[in-house]
Structure 1
Amino acid sequence: MATRKTIYLDNASTSAVRMEVLDSMLPYFIEEFGNPDSIHAMGKPGRDAVKRARESLAKMINADPDEIYMTSGGSESNSWAIRSAVTGPRAKGRHVIVSSIEHHSIINACEYIRKLGLDVTYIPVDPSGLVDPAEVERAIRPDTAIISVMTANNEIGTIEPIKEIGEVARRHGVLFHTDAVQAYGQVDIDVRRDNIDLLSASSHKLGGPKGVGLLYIRKGVRLDPLIHGGEQERGIRGGTTNVPGVVGFGKAAELALADMEERAEKERTLRDHLIGRVLNEIPYSRLNGDRERRLPSNANFSFDHIEGESILMSMNMAGICISTGSACASGSLDPSHVLLALGLPHETAHGSLRFSIPSDTTMEDIDHAVDVLRDTVERLRSLSPLYDDFLRSQKGEA
């Protein structure tokens, strides 16, 4: 009997490098390997390639190329934005406002600065994961230095009202940062329209290589370096430029921008089919996150009376790769802080799964995944005495 192919539905954790991206990178490993900061002739090809990549990365969000600063990824960019805003010599205040469902790189950076004696306010979200801009405005103090709210949540896919929050920040003269790691190349972002001062993005979420990201810094905003070194990135981010990585990131952004609308439409069709089948065919399941304002490829579910880890392992044995949430928290036994912020009880939050759909997924793949999921949930519940007790209580039995 032939082995069925692996079905990968965890694109929010990382995506496959596109072949065009790999092809664009290869010359800068061997043929044009020179340091782009070298003055001699071997440095020029890499320097020119990085310049072109920076232009592509800026075009995605309507920024200027010289507002794009290269980093090692989204976590570095997030830490740089938060820490520099309140701990550096140029810090304008000692208070940070973030949403309660931010990525761990934001949450942990905030916990770090709290240990330094600085203040953090966590804004709650509604049951669908949306931040209320009015709540953000009420939290602003005279010493508020920065507001950080992600463009789209990495677990539940909810897309936040970034433009409105940016307007609040701009009105009060507070820096506004958004973690756009999941949204960059997936949804329309315009840093001018959306009043964004700082924005983080990561290459490996949109078909680029791992280990490279960016921080958009609006002209006029000055941050202190997170990494000290030479004069790379206009003197504020030290370290030899990762030319192949930057080139690959630029190519991935160019490709993502070109097919964003078509790709999003296909992913929405697959996602909505997935959501419909799960909610209709699996009892005591719920969709987490806003039904309409969500990333095209994201579907996050909770299943009562069952552990998400058990479902995940069974699905993995069937060749279907999904996630219980953020890859950065995969070693934790605690339920997702995002799902708890939505108001889910601990036991329900423990029974949650995230599907994030690559654009080359087929409807057959989705149907097979749902078939396996339905059978898995039914089998695992049949082994649970707690589920039996629940069913008896629903029937009014003692």
Structure 2
Amino acid sequence: MTETGSVYLDHAATTPMLPVAIEALTARLADVGNPSSLHASGRHARRIVEESRETIAQALDCRPGEVVFTSGGTEADNLALKGIYWSRRRADSRRTRILATAVEHHAVLDPLHWLAEHEGAEVELLPVDERGRLDEAAYRAAVERDPDSVALVSVMWANNEVGTMQPVSEVTAIAGPHGIPVHTDAVQAVGAVPVDFAASGVEAMTLTGHKLGGPYGVGALVVRREVDVTPLGHGGGQERDIRSGTLDTPGIAAFAAAVEAAVKEQPDHAERLRTLRDDLVRRVLAVVPDAHLHGPQLDVAGTERLPGNAHLGFPGCEGDSLLMLLDARGIECSTGSACSAGVPQPSHVLLAMGCDEEQARHSLRFSFGHTSTPADVDAVVAAIGPVVERARAAKRA
């Protein structure tokens, strides 16, 4: 429950800052010193940045020099996709193809669309099954059709809407023998499930602070030193000359504290969220028998879907109506659809999973986080029956 008294179940969008991150942030806000300056204050700021880099590297099993700080996940995705594509194509003009799943976040899909429109990229969106999981046979066939023409592959670690975990290790195993770099958007995964950069085999990985208990406006692209990345912007040459700009020392300190805590507490955190999530799904389906779960079924091992994700469809309803009716009762969640200029659009994720347009509009995503409690589940269960009835009546009217 939030300070306003609302039941907050939209942690996949952003989760409250962890106390250790707040402490790390506030402890540095009054400090002066540009990390690029050579005097004592600058060196002090630089030490904080580099210690934070080491903390993140240790948590994710990568080298400190592989952590490139950014303003968040969207910038990191853009940097990976555009930067690696430009470098790979400059080295070999045949490398024009980019492979990605059809269920990627718009922070990946939109840069790919831009590269196709403006930079001659041939973007191939790979199919997924009814659970939202990559069709590995289709992916393998796409790679092997002409591996020398593939600039890079981007497959998210876990889906932000339906919580599906993707087979990242299998993706890298297929791309690796051909020397094709793989990027993964792990924004939803870090702190929710085990994430090991070195073991995964990916060349680049995106994460951001506000999804795991850190502050807004700071994230990172973890990218192997041997991967050539053309910068998006130019300036002071910070961050390996990949991402220029004065570093946010307080934000980076808080980000590192959040990553360290989230990764350390991940096993217990996941088990607690899984218990809350499973209870919500079971009880909501009892109240609304024709509701259904999108994505993988609830799995005890936690290898198929994110532990805090419950994406439910309610036939005969509009997701936006359900959202607003729940919001009026003090329950905050999200729909599975994106809105553009106030016009609701069917979820591209659900469409890719085989849903029709109506099915892709009638869903709600409940996502749990470190502040979630059993009382939050009770509130949703108490409200969902009357809310669904009102939403269905409104649609029939």
TM-score bracket, normalised by the shorter chain, equals: over 0.9
Aligned mates of 2:291, 2:64 — CA distance in 1: 45
* Deviation readout 1:25-78 (Å, 9 max, x if unpaired): 123221x22101100011122111111111121122210111000001111111
Q: What one-letter code is carried by the residue in structure 1 that aligns with 2:101?
A: S
SS at match of 2:60: coil
Aligned mates of 2:382, 2:13 — CA distance in 1: 23
Deviates more, 1:87-96 or 1:178-187: 87-96
| Structure 1 gap ranges (5+) | 387-398
Q: What one-letter code is carried by the residue in structure 2 that aligns with 1:9?
A: L
- Matching residue of 2:210: 204
Q: What one-letter code is carried by the residue in structure 2 that aligns with 1:7?
A: V
Structure 1 residues 79, 235: closer, same or farther in 2, change over 3 A? same
Structure 1 residues 326, 151: closer, same or farther in 2, change over 3 A? farther
**Conservation of the 8 A alpha-carbon contact between 1:204 and 1:210:** yes
- Matching residue of 1:26: 26
Does residue 186 of structure 2 align to residue 175 of structure 1? Answer: no
Deviates more, 1:324-333 or 1:85-94: 324-333
* Deviation readout 1:275-333 (Å, 9 max, x if unpaired): 11122221321111111311010010111111000010010010000001377869552
Does residue 276 of structure 2 align to residue 273 of structure 1? Answer: no
**Conservation of the 8 A alpha-carbon contact between 2:72 and 2:209:** yes
Structure 1 residues 350, 67: closer, same or farther in 2, change over 3 A? same
- Matching residue of 1:147: 153
Aligned mates of 1:153, 1:7 — CA distance in 2: 23
| Structure 2 gap ranges (5+) | none
- Matching residue of 1:319: 330
SS at match of 1:239: coil
Within 5 Å, give how 1:49-88 maps onto structure 2: 49-88=48-87
Q: What one-letter code is carried by the residue in structure 2 that aligns with 1:69?
A: V
- Matching residue of 2:374: 363
- Matching residue of 1:390: none
- Matching residue of 2:167: 161
- Matching residue of 1:373: 384
- Matching residue of 1:336: 347
- Matching residue of 1:120: 123
Structure 1 residues 185, 90: closer, same or farther in 2, change over 3 A? farther
The counterpart of 1:234, out of the listed 221, 240, 260, is 240
Q: What one-letter code is carried by the residue in structure 2 that aligns with 1:180?
A: A
Q: What one-letter code is carried by the residue in structure 2 that aligns with 1:13?
A: A
Aligned mates of 1:114, 1:169 — CA distance in 2: 21
Structure 1 residues 20, 353: closer, same or farther in 2, change over 3 A? same
Deviates more, 1:152-161 or 1:47-56: 47-56
The counterpart of 2:310, out of the listed 292, 299, 323, is 299
Aligned mates of 1:327, 1:119 — CA distance in 2: 25
Shift of 1:5: 2.4
- Matching residue of 2:105: 103
**Conservation of the 8 A alpha-carbon contact between 2:10 and 2:368:** yes
* Deviation readout 1:341-394 (Å, 9 max, x if unpaired): 1111111111111111112211121021122112200232244438xxxxxxxx
Q: What one-letter code is carried by the residue in structure 2 that aligns with 1:21?
A: A
Aligned mates of 1:123, 1:303 — CA distance in 2: 28
Aligned mates of 1:330, 1:102 — CA distance in 2: 21
Deviates more, 1:200-209 or 1:16-25: 16-25
**TM-score, with structure 1 as normaliser:** 0.92
- Matching residue of 1:48: 47
- Matching residue of 2:10: 10
**Conservation of the 8 A alpha-carbon contact between 2:72 and 2:207:** yes
Structure 1 residues 171, 109: closer, same or farther in 2, change over 3 A? same
SS at match of 2:182: strand
Aligned mates of 2:23, 2:4 — CA distance in 1: 29
> Once the two structures are aligned, what percentage of the paired residues are identical?
39
Structure 1 residues 78, 332: closer, same or farther in 2, change over 3 A? farther
Structure 1 residues 83, 255: closer, same or farther in 2, change over 3 A? same
Matched pairs, number: 383
Deviates more, 1:353-362 or 1:196-205: 353-362
Shift of 1:228: 1.1
Aligned mates of 1:329, 1:274 — CA distance in 2: 30
SS at match of 1:201: strand
SS at match of 1:290: coil
The counterpart of 1:185, out of the listed 171, 179, 191, is 191
- Matching residue of 1:285: 291
